[in-house]
Structure 1
Amino acid sequence: MTLAPQPPSRHSYELRTAARRLGRRRFLTGTAAAAALAFATNLPAAGAAAAAELDPARITENPFTLGVASGDPHPDSVLLWTRLAPRPYESGGGLPRSRVTLRWELAHDERFSRIARRGSVTAHPEFNHTARAEVPGLDSDRAYFYRFTTGRWTSPVGRTRTAPAPGARISELRLAAVSCQAYHDGYYTAYGHLAEEDLDVVLHLGDYLYEYAVTATGGARAYTDRKLPAHYNRETVTLEDYRLRYALYKSDPDLLAAHAAHPFVVTWDDHETENNYAGDTPENDVPPDEFLLRRASAYRAYWENQPLRAPQRPTGSDMRLYRRLQYGRLAQFDILDTRQYRSDQAYGDGWQTPGPDSEDPARTLTGATQERWLIDGWRSSKATWNVLPQQVTFAQRKDRPTADFKLSMDSWDGYPASRRRVLDGWQAAGADNLLVLTGDVHVHYGFDIKKDFADPDSATLGTEIVTSSVTSGKDGADKPANWGTYMAANPHLKFYNGRRGYVAVTLGREEARADFRTVSAVTTPGAPLTTAGSFVTRAGAPGLKPV
């Protein structure tokens, strides 16, 4: 039943041919562009005939190798996800191009003796046999257990949780922030520990996937008991490339355990598509139309493989990923996308001296529409904590304490006018307790967000918690070589640790607590978990204080 992989050279030729037919504006708006994009990325066209249905009895190997997941909790519903892939490292996952019917069950208990809801869903080959079920009519702020079945096969059991009811005055919310999980840099040990945490939700802040090649031995994992297929040892470009890479990442047992244990709220950064891209501008000298075809493939595979709801389904090379979730009166989450709409980085992608180009008022990291949406949401917020899950470092981060400092052009430091508009909007909105959650930089940071970063005595407007990577950068160190320099250059930086791990955050009515979790190594499996630092910020009195 294995579907033979499409030759990469042919697919690459098709992408380039489609791109050459289209001008940039027509690509973005025209019907011919949509047709070419659907062709180039194997998307089902509107009104297309459905594939034949496969009798599940013909599935002779376990199809649930990539586990289950849930995401974007609402007060009355949950989103459940799985993918059928008996042989996940093969193109098509070892299934023919036929649709498959699955049954799902949601229960109050892990033994499924008290069923809350049940139904069926179809896994279509056009969506790489991924399937999702949006389950309505549920009780708020409640844990549920779920599973899928098809034929004689039953998936692992997942646990999820609905959000509190609108206006509910809950006393506590427990979450974790994670990011940056380069498979080739090490084992997902941190996820094994995270799966054991008592959490309401996990926020993934980007770089779930890396586009870089993975060797037959799994890079730093240095496998001796297995050999990965040769198609992983190349950069992801086509839809098939991205789909296969997700299969590799999602087959990791610790990541499987984390998804089964907690609902995830996800947003991307750059590596899910390509390093340091900005809007429709690629990292390298590739025509924009060709890059948008690649972006369409990456966005499609991202949606297929994440527990996202229907409004996030992409249209061609566009995907509305920014969105808002409410957790009663305690927290509002405004999930940002700082990749799809940003201006190109000034002076290149690295650390540069700021100047007229980076400080141009017209530059934006969010795009005007998303910026307005964010500030409007703050104006109407009644939450104790306004949480901003996003990708790149928000607070100013100088590389040295002297006047010749440089800043990262890929972070908010490369878009200071955009940051200023957001902070001005925050102050004008009159909302309470800004808490920014960030990934990207492969270290733990704790920042006070200042009204004027040039003046350490200026008002503190909020708090930024930056989570380290799950694996990216390999093992790291408690005090990186630049620790002293950074602490001296940035007086609003209250914590800095360079080990791998995640951040556990507890939101209460009076304070928020951040526990920076680390593991001693990711290049060898099974490292223990340590809390490297704990800080609190009090409601109504922004600023991090050590516990």
Structure 2
Amino acid sequence: MAAGTDRLASPDRRRLLTAGAAVLGAAASAQLWVPATAHAAATTLPENVFSLGVASGDPLPDGVVLWTRLAPEPLNGGGMPQQNVAVQWEISPDPRFASSVRRGTATARPEYGHSVHVDVRGLKPGRDYWYRFRAGGRISPAGRTRTAPRPLASGGSLRLALASCQNWQHGYFTPYADMLAQDPDVVLFVGDYIYESGPSATAVRRHEGSGEPYTLTQYRNRYAQYRGDPDLQRMHARAPWVVTFDDHEVDNDFAGEVPQDPDKQTHDAFTARLTAAYQAYYEHMPVRATAIPNGPHIRMYRALRFGRLARLNVLDTRQYRSDQAVSQEGAQDPALTMLGAAQKRWLTDGLRNSDTRWNLVASQIMMAETDLLAGPGKLWYYDAWDGYQAERDALLGELASVRNPVVLSGDRHLTMISDLKRDFADPSSAVVGAEFVGTSISSNGDQDQAAFHAQWDPLKAGNPHWKLIDAHRGYHLFDIREDAVDAQVRVVSTVLKTQATARTLARFRVADGRPGVHKV
């Protein structure tokens, strides 16, 4: 994630140099560390107060967000006293913490679940840093992060991992072990970080609690359970994350303030649920104070810049959308919106005015068409962009004049790589961009591949824009350079066990100035 002289070493050399950095940092953290300006905690906190680990996110050229949450009893509301706790933080260019470039004290407040979000500034662009926290005589594991390049820096490269859909009950998060080995500069997570479903007796590993979460404490417990996964925790500590949510962080297939089952959840009850879910989301994500919820509202759409190489536009396709259509006619209603007026204007203005080589759009749900009906006629997923076709088509028209648009999506629990067409109703329509729908980390478990292809292969003829469909678990890895985006579909052998082997299922390329995606 550097350009020109911002990169301290080549990508491969940097990965070799930092492969053991987390181990070194963890060893250094075992030493007694007390900043000179620190105020001692009134009481010693339990040994496992940093049970949820550490994380960083939303890198800027001069800063990054550092995160942790104090939770000695993670599945029991956190287990912290109802009082403020001073938390010291330190960030260093050295994994051994021989020197510090920034340090300070934050306050972990009970009203935010004793979470800590430190928006560190004054850092150098395109650099690796290590960080850690201390509270009540306890020291956190060390994490590594990286700042973005200078805003006008040219050249360089960016390694980005795309992940989504990690259902605790469907399997272990084994793809993160391989992601850790691939050492991305940044992780983009596009939704379904938790699942709100109740516990299942037949699950690979059972959800905590006795049912779906509705209250703040219940959502906190669910996030804490997920945050306890060792592979997920290690990946959070290795690289900065850029996150957005989809539906399962709240309620399956919700739209705005409309739940999946409005006959069972009144409007007041659902807005209370939204309020709890959004607060728990903020408490567990490495995001800035701009994302502090205001009741049943949270601001998540935003843009991040990586020099002149790439602009990453992160969408919120849940909070502002109209309720889903239930028919083909409804899906083509021009009154329906996915983004809402303000977000749509923000996105189109950002795309029109962008001066970067690559314009990435993080969309929680698939933008390319999925025709589920073999033969004549159409059958769509109304929860995806297919259900909001007028707005989708207008956006595709905007992409036709944007330099190198690439959409990065999730939700489907499948790998679906497609050309984006100006008009999906016209097979001869121009290609205006590329879309990578990343498969799930664990959702749907280890699928029967033969059964999948028997169901989906007959649909390929009606979806000629598809370049690959696959049902393995994993993630996508992108190496973004000025001349091309090279993508790997990384898949794992299983999510039903704690250990798995990984491989590259397929490689694709999007070339500069050539809309669409091509298999390598």
Give the TM-score taking structure 1 as reference length.
0.85
Q: Which amino acid aligns with 1:127?
A: Y
1:127-146 matched pairs, under 5 angstroms? 127-146=112-131
Q: Which amino acid aligns with 2:395?
A: V
Cα distance in 1 between the residues matched to 2:276 and 2:73: 22
Task: Please tell me whether residue 265 in structure 1 is matched to residue 216 in structure 2.
Answer: no
Cα distance in 1 between the residues matched to 2:46 and 2:478: 43
Cα distance in 1 between the residues matched to 2:222 and 2:423: 42
1:417-496 matched pairs, under 5 angstroms? 417-427=390-400, 430-478=401-449, 480=452, 481-496=454-469
Residue 82 (structure 1) aligns with: 68
Cα distance in 2 between the residues matched to 1:287 and 1:249: 28
Cα distance in 2 between the residues matched to 1:411 and 1:198: 31
Given that 2:396 and 2:421 are in contact with CA atoms closer than 8 Å, whether structure 1 keeps it comes out as no
Residue 96 of structure 1: how far off its partner (Å): 1.1
1:6-405 matched pairs, under 5 angstroms? 55=41, 57-91=43-77, 93-215=78-200, 219-221=203-205, 232-284=209-261, 285=263, 286-347=265-326, 354-355=328-329, 357-405=330-378
Cα distance in 1 between the residues matched to 2:366 and 2:379: 14
Gaps (5+ residues) in structure 2?
A: 1-38
* Divergent runs of 4+, >4 A: none
Residue 22 (structure 1) aligns with: none
Residue 191 of structure 1: how far off its partner (Å): 1.1
Q: Which amino acid aligns with 2:473?
A: R
Q: Which amino acid aligns with 1:197?
A: Q
2:389 corresponds to which of 404, 409, 416: 416
Given that 1:432 and 1:540 are in contact with CA atoms closer than 8 Å, whether structure 2 keeps it comes out as yes
Residue 477 of structure 1: how far off its partner (Å): 4.3
Q: Which amino acid aligns with 1:80?
A: L
Cα distance in 1 between the residues matched to 2:365 and 2:412: 7
Residue 199 of structure 1: how far off its partner (Å): 1.1
Which deviates more, 286-295 or 498-507? 286-295
1:481-520 matched pairs, under 5 angstroms? 481-520=454-493
Residue 478 of structure 1: how far off its partner (Å): 4.5
Residue 514 of structure 1: how far off its partner (Å): 1.2
Cα distance in 1 between the residues matched to 2:59 and 2:459: 38
Cα distance in 1 between the residues matched to 2:190 and 2:100: 33
Cα distance in 2 between the residues matched to 1:78 and 1:235: 33
Cα distance in 1 between the residues matched to 2:98 and 2:155: 29
Residue 117 of structure 1: how far off its partner (Å): 1.0
Which deviates more, 267-276 or 393-402? 393-402
Residue 457 of structure 1: how far off its partner (Å): 2.3
Given that 1:221 and 1:523 are in contact with CA atoms closer than 8 Å, whether structure 2 keeps it comes out as no
User: Identity, % of aligned pairs?
Assistant: 44
Cα distance in 1 between the residues matched to 2:177 and 2:465: 33
SS in 2 for 1:518: strand
SS in 2 for 1:163: coil
Cα distance in 2 between the residues matched to 1:259 and 1:214: 25
Given that 2:393 and 2:423 are in contact with CA atoms closer than 8 Å, whether structure 1 keeps it comes out as no
Residue 197 of structure 1: how far off its partner (Å): 1.6
Cα distance in 1 between the residues matched to 2:42 and 2:376: 67
Given that 1:69 and 1:81 are in contact with CA atoms closer than 8 Å, whether structure 2 keeps it comes out as yes
Cα distance in 2 between the residues matched to 1:489 and 1:112: 57
Q: Which amino acid aligns with 1:442?
A: H
Question: Structure 1, residues 95-153: CA drift from partner, whole Å, max 9, x if none?
Answer: 21111111111011110012111111111111111011111100001110000011321
SS in 1 for 2:328: coil
1:539 corresponds to which of 490, 512, 517: 512
SS in 1 for 2:175: helix
Cα distance in 2 between the residues matched to 1:478 and 1:267: 29
Question: Structure 1, residues 446-488: CA drift from partner, whole Å, max 9, x if none?
Answer: 1000112122222110000010000111112456232312322
Which deviates more, 315-324 or 284-293? 284-293
Given that 1:54 and 1:100 are in contact with CA atoms closer than 8 Å, whether structure 2 keeps it comes out as no
SS in 2 for 1:196: helix
Residue 404 of structure 1: how far off its partner (Å): 3.2
Question: Structure 1, residues 219-272: CA drift from partner, whole Å, max 9, x if none?
Answer: 2137xxxxx7xx623101111110110010001101100100110000000000
Task: Please tell me whether residue 523 in structure 1 is matched to residue 509 in structure 2.
Answer: no
Cα distance in 1 between the residues matched to 2:183 and 2:498: 23
SS in 1 for 2:417: strand
Change (3 A) 1:250 1:56: farther
Residue 401 of structure 1: how far off its partner (Å): 3.3
Cα distance in 2 between the residues matched to 1:421 and 1:292: 31
Given that 1:267 and 1:337 are in contact with CA atoms closer than 8 Å, whether structure 2 keeps it comes out as yes
Given that 1:337 and 1:390 are in contact with CA atoms closer than 8 Å, whether structure 2 keeps it comes out as yes
Residue 527 of structure 1: how far off its partner (Å): 1.1
Residue 541 of structure 1: how far off its partner (Å): 0.5
Q: Which amino acid aligns with 1:407?
A: W
Residue 218 of structure 1: how far off its partner (Å): 8.5
Cα distance in 1 between the residues matched to 2:92 and 2:109: 25
SS in 2 for 1:156: coil
Cα distance in 2 between the residues matched to 1:147 and 1:442: 34
Cα distance in 2 between the residues matched to 1:266 and 1:99: 27
Residue 54 of structure 1: how far off its partner (Å): 9.4
Q: Which amino acid aligns with 2:51?
A: T
SS in 2 for 1:362: coil
Cα distance in 1 between the residues matched to 2:112 and 2:96: 31
Question: Structure 1, residues 54-111: CA drift from partner, whole Å, max 9, x if none?
Answer: 93543132200000000000110110000011121112x2221111111111011110
Change (3 A) 1:66 1:56: farther
